[in-house]
Amino acid sequence: MSNLLLFPIIIPLFFATVLMIFPKRLKLQRFLAATGAAATLIAALVLLAKVNAEGVQAVTLGSWPAPFGISMVSDPLSALLVVTTSIITLFVVFYSFPTIGVKREQSFYYPAVLFLMVGVNGAFTTGDIFNLFVFVEVLLMASYTLIVHGGEKPQLRESIKYLLVNIISSALFVAAVAFLYSVTGTLNMADLAVKIPQIEETGILTVIAVMFLVVFGFKAAIFPLYFWLPGSYYSPPVPILALFGALLTKVGVYAIMRTYTLFFTMNITFTHELLGIIAILTILAGCVGALAYFDVKKIIIYNIIIAVGVILFGIAQLNQPGVDGSIFYLLHDMLIKAALFFLVGIVAVLFGTTDLRKMGGLIKTYPFLGWTYLVAAFGLAGIPPLSGFPGKLLIVQGGFEGPQFWGSIVILATSLIVLLSAVRIFIYAFWGEPVETVPLKKSVFNQMFIPTVILVAITVVFGVGAELFMPFISGAGEVLLNPSIYIDAVLKE
Amino acid sequence: MSVVIGFLFMAAVYLMLSKSLIRIIIGTGLLSHGAHLLLLTMGGLGGISPPVVADGVSVSDYADPLPQALILTAIVISFAVTSFFLVLAYRSYQELGTDNMDLLRGTEDHE
Condensed to tens digits (0 to 9), the pLDDT of residues A154-170 reads 888 889 999 999 999 99
Q: Are A315 and A431 in contact (CB under 8 A)?
A: no
Say what percent of chain A tops pLDDT 70. 100
pLDDT of amino acid A32: 94
Interface test with A, best of B71, B72, B85 (most A CBs within 10 A): B85
Counting one residue from chain A and one from chain B, the pairs whose CB atoms sit within 8 A come to 97
Instruction: Give the closest-approach CA distance of B21 to chain A in angstroms.
Output: 9
Instruction: Give the per-residue pLDDT at A1.
Output: 57
Q: Nearest by CB to B84, which of A133, A144, A178?
A: A144
> Contact, A219 vs A169, CB < 8 A?
yes
Chain B residue with minimum CA distance to A155: B92
Q: Do the chains contact at A178 and B39, CB–CB below 8 Å?
A: yes
**DSSP class per residue in A211-276:** HHHHHHHHHHT-TTTTTTHHHHHHSS-HHHHHHIIIIIHHHHHHHHHHHHHHT--TTHHHHHHHHH
Greatest alpha-carbon pair distance for chain A in Å reads 69
Phi, psi of A227 (to 5 degrees): -55, -30
Continuous H helices in B1-111 = 2-16, 21-42, 65-96
Residue B50 backbone phi and psi in degrees, to 5: -65, 145
Contacts of B77 in chain A (CB under 8 A): 134, 137, 170
A134-143: pLDDT as tens digits: 999 999 999 9
The 10s digit of each residue's pLDDT in A167-180 is 999 999 999 999 99
Predicted confidence (pLDDT) at residue B109 exceeds the cutoff of 60: no
pLDDT digits (tens, 9 = 90+) for B50-73: 777 777 777 777 778 888 889 999
Residue B39 has its nearest CB partner, among A157, A161, A174, at A174
Which of A53-57, A248-252, A262-266, A353-357: highest mean pLDDT? Answer: A248-252
- Which of B38, B41, B103, B107 to probe by mutation at the A interface, max A CB count within 10 Å? B38
Residue B26, Cβ neighbours under 10 Å: how many?
17
| pLDDT, position A69 | 83
pLDDT (tens digit per residue) in A78-91: 999 999 999 999 99
Q: What is residue B106's predicted lDDT score, i.e. its pLDDT?
A: 67
Contact criterion met (CB < 8 Å) for A181 and B89: no
Of the candidates A252, A245, A242, A229, the one whose C-alpha atom is nearest the C-alpha of residue A165 is A229
Q: What angle do CA A198, A203, A208 make, to 5 degrees?
A: 90
Task: Indicate yes or no: CB of A153 within 8 angstroms of CB of B96.
Answer: yes
List the single residue in B38, B88, B91 with the smallest CB-CB distance to A175: B38
Give the pLDDT confidence of A298-309 residue by residue, as tens digits.
Answer: 999 999 999 999
For the stretch B61-95, what's the b/e string if a residue is b when 16 or more beta carbons lie within 10 angstroms of its beta carbon?
ebbbebbeebbeebeebbeebbebbeebbeebeee
Q: Which residues pair with A188 in a beta bridge?
A: A128
Reduced to 3 states, what is the DSSP secondary structure of residue A57?
strand
Give the whole-angstrom CA distance, residue A156 versus residue B110: 14
pLDDT digits (tens, 9 = 90+) for A107-147: 899 999 999 999 999 999 999 999 999 999 999 999 999 99
Tell me if B44 and A153 make a contact (CB, 8 A cut-off): no
* Average of per-residue pLDDT across A449-467: 92
Task: With 0.90 as the threshold, say if the pTM is over it.
Answer: yes
Q: What's the number of CA atoms in the CB half-sphere (13 Å) around residue A382?
A: 27
ipTM value of the model? 0.91
Residues of B in contact with A160 (CB under 8 A): 21, 88-89, 92, 104
| Chain B residues inside the 8 Å CB shell of A179 | 42
Asked whether residue B110 carries a pLDDT value surpassing 80, the answer given is: no
Q: Per-residue confidence at A288, pLDDT binned at 50, 70, 90?
A: very high
In this predicted structure, the answer to whether residue B78 has a pLDDT above a threshold of 90 is yes
* pLDDT score for B17: 92
Amino acid B111: pLDDT = 40
CA distance B38 to chain A (A): 6
Q: What confidence score (pLDDT) does residue B107 get?
A: 58
Q: What is the mean pLDDT of residues A167-194?
A: 92
Name the closest residue on chain A to residue B82, using Cα atoms.
A167
| Residue that wins the pLDDT comparison between A303 and B43 | A303
Contact, A301 vs A342, CB < 8 A? Answer: no
Upstream peptide bond of A224 is cis (omega within 30 degrees of 0): yes
Q: How many CB atoms lie within 10 A of CB A31?
A: 11
Query: For residue range A402-444, what is the model confidence (pLDDT) as tens digits?
Result: 888 889 999 999 999 999 999 999 998 888 888 888 888 888 8
Interface test with B, best of A126, A145, A153, A160 (most B CBs within 10 A): A160
- Chain B interface, best mutation among A107, A156, A294, A295, by max B CB count within 10 A: A156
Residue B4 predicted with pLDDT over 90: yes
Q: Count of CB atoms within 10 A of residue A425's CB?
A: 23
DSSP one-letter code for A67: T
- Mean pLDDT, all residues of chain A: 91
- Residues A329/A307, Cβ–Cβ less than 8 Å: yes
Cβ pair A181:B43 closer than 8 A: yes
**Residue B55 Cα, gap to closest chain A Cα (Å):** 22
